[in-house]
Structure 1
Amino acid sequence: MLIVDGHLDLAMNALLGRDLRLPLAELRASDPVPGETATVSFPELRKGGVRLAFGTLFALPASAGSSGYTDAEGARQQALAQLDVYTRWQAEGHVRLLRSAAEVAAFELDALTGSGDALGVVLLMEGADPIRDADDLPFWVERGVRLIGPAWGRTRYAGGTNAPGPLTPSGRDLVAGMRNLGVTLDASHLDDAAFWDAADLGVRMIASHSNARALLPGNRHLTDDMARAVMGTGGVIGLVCLSTFIRAGWDATQPRVPLTDLAAHARHYAALGSWAHVALGTDLDGGFGQEKTPAGLDSCADLPRFLDLLPAEARAGVAGGNWLRWLKSHL
């Protein structure tokens, strides 16, 4: 079964000093990131059957706890550095950047027939601050970016996680430009007001890594109406494998949540539309480690354990078929 992960921060981790080319045990033995036991490497992804991922360009803003960008140019430099990482990995044969539906279909055929070990990567920009303005969109599209999430926290373009607010005027211009260029909007991290502003502009939407607000409060997660709106554009929703995003009130002093709790989010989304809109967007390397993953999901190679909890007829779609269908229709 071919697995597609709708959200991995691969290049960000490389720039933190993690060598994702190593077997996971070796990566963990030399991991430069304290307090977060690594769960993702290229060999580990292959071991688990993960053959394609949405790889992010994620610029981290400055905060009290971390250094990061303070202006648009700083954000742009972070994203360009990550783009260089993906380009280097492709030259080394570790990844294969996919820019079109035809390239995805060819990659799928190669993966199913065992031709090559490279991870297929579709570029997703998480937080749009690296984009100077709507006129800068073609620059990023030419370099392979096919999905953009306007927000993470608050950005120049939109309200986001724990930062309520609508699309800004620049955000409306950006989303309209995305619509006109056929770039898909990633609704993950958008505040409700910004989400509905974007929906009104008629842009194509997915949610790369968002769980259900009906099971977990907070504007990081999708309401039922938001999930239906994503599904209504033909979009797919990826499930996040972070315990704090799965069970309300969970913290690191408690046992890790069971995978059955994550399966409840999957079933909730399926009940809103159908299993055809439910997929994976694990974010397993997104600023947390094994300590905060569900019990039994000790690395990305364990994803089949989660799939086994779903109805038999839904497993192949959630594993990767739903993302592949979407990519071959819309990329």
Structure 2
Amino acid sequence: MRIIDLHCDALYKIWKSGGTLAYRDAPELETSKERLAAGGVKAQCFALYVPPEVKEEHRFQAMLDQIDYFYDNVLGRNPDMKQIVEWSDFDSLGDGEIGAMLTLEGVDAIGTDPGKLRLLHRLGVRSVGLTWNHANLAADGVMEPRGAGLTSWGKEIVAFNNANRILTDVSHLSEKAFWDVIELTHYPIASHSNAKAVCDHPRNLTDEQARALFAKGATVHVIYNPPFTKKGGGASIADLIKHVDHFCALGGVRHIGLGSDLDGISSHIAGLEHAGHTGRLIEELLKHYTEDEVRGFAADNFLRRRP
């Protein structure tokens, strides 16, 4: 069964290590190439994330360093890792090959420079989340008390994404910014979010938000992060499937995908500690859903609705 994971933070971990972690098999990497292969993951999206403690003048260089690790450590040293730059590239992956696509988690590093945005697109970024959890020059994130929407610059980014068939990721946006994006975007996605009705966390989506995404033809990718999965922690795969159940009840059976956030989370769902365990989630889903539906969750829903 083809599996696509829309979000991981392996590049951040490699960058934080100063490039000492070998993407192929470093045990510290939950989404290493070896673990993706063991878990049957056919394509992995790699987020570019620069933490807020990095000084503003150093942020874009930090992002370029992560891209360099992507081209050298991920692609260059692993010939069976194939970069996804065109949406059709998902369909041309051969046996034993794993797709790799760059995404952007927060636009803080580019300031308000459209040239930097164009450069990131040329380097392979195909999904853009405007914020991480806090406010920046484009929008407010979910943890910003002000809760404002998109700025003029944020709207420019969405327009750029539309013109270039780039996904606009809503996973970290404030509710006001979310609704601004829904109004403007041609290609929305929630790359790593769960259902707020099941687990009341600011990072999760309300039923109204989920329905709006489904109405726009977007996919919502469930995240393997215990605090977003079950109140009080100690989450199991069964707890994660409750979010799938809820999204399906809202009409989302053909709009659900996977967005693990592995290498970016500090605790793990029992049995989903790294990408090599992805088959366990698939096996459990098959106990509750038809094979066609599970194929949808694993990859096909996203592939049907890509730009």
For 2:271, which of 269, 293, 296 is the aligned residue?
296
> Is residue 259–residue 295 contact of structure 1 (8 Å, CA) maintained in 2?
yes
Is 2:148 the partner of 1:162?
Answer: no
Structure 2 residue 122 is the aligned partner of structure 1 residue 142: yes
RMSD: 1.8
The secondary structure found in structure 1 opposite 2:298 is helix
Report deviation, 1:49. 0.4
Shift of 1:22: 4.6
Q: Deviations over 1:115-165 (max 9, x none)?
A: x44x31121100011223362332221111111000102222111131122
SS in 1 for 2:104: strand
Q: Deviations over 1:203-243 (max 9, x none)?
A: 42000000011112233111111112222222111111111
* Corresponding residue pairs, total: 295
Tell me the equivalent position of 1:271: 249
**In the aligned structure 2, how far is the partner of 1:122 from the partner of 1:21?**
15
Q: In the alignment, is residue 319 of structure 1 matched against residue 294 of structure 2? A: no
Structure 1 partner of 2:11: 11
- Residues 222-261 of structure 1 correspond to what in structure 2 (within 5 A)? 222-250=205-233, 256-261=234-239
Name which of structure 1's ranges 165-174 and 190-199 shifts more when overlaid on structure 2: 165-174
Q: TM-score, normalised by structure 1?
A: 0.83
Write the distance in 2 (CA, Å) between the matches of 1:122 and 1:42: 14
Q: 1:79 aligns with which of 63, 70, 73?
A: 63
8 Å CA contact retained: 1:2, 1:49: yes
Within the alignment, does 1:204 sit opposite 2:187 as a pair?
yes
CA distance in 2, matches of 1:188, 1:209: 6
SS in 1 for 2:224: coil
One-letter amino acid of the counterpart of residue 8, structure 1: C
When structure 1 is superposed on structure 2, of 4-13 and 172-181 the one drifting more is: 172-181
Partner secondary structure for residue 8 of structure 1: coil
Partner Cα distance (1:142, 1:234) in 2: 26
1:217 to 200, 224, 248: 200
Q: Which runs of 5+ in 1 are unaligned?
A: 32-37, 63-67, 251-255
TM-score normalised over the length of structure 2: 0.90
1:191 Cα deviation from its structure 2 partner:
0.6
Whether 1:45 aligns to 2:25 is no
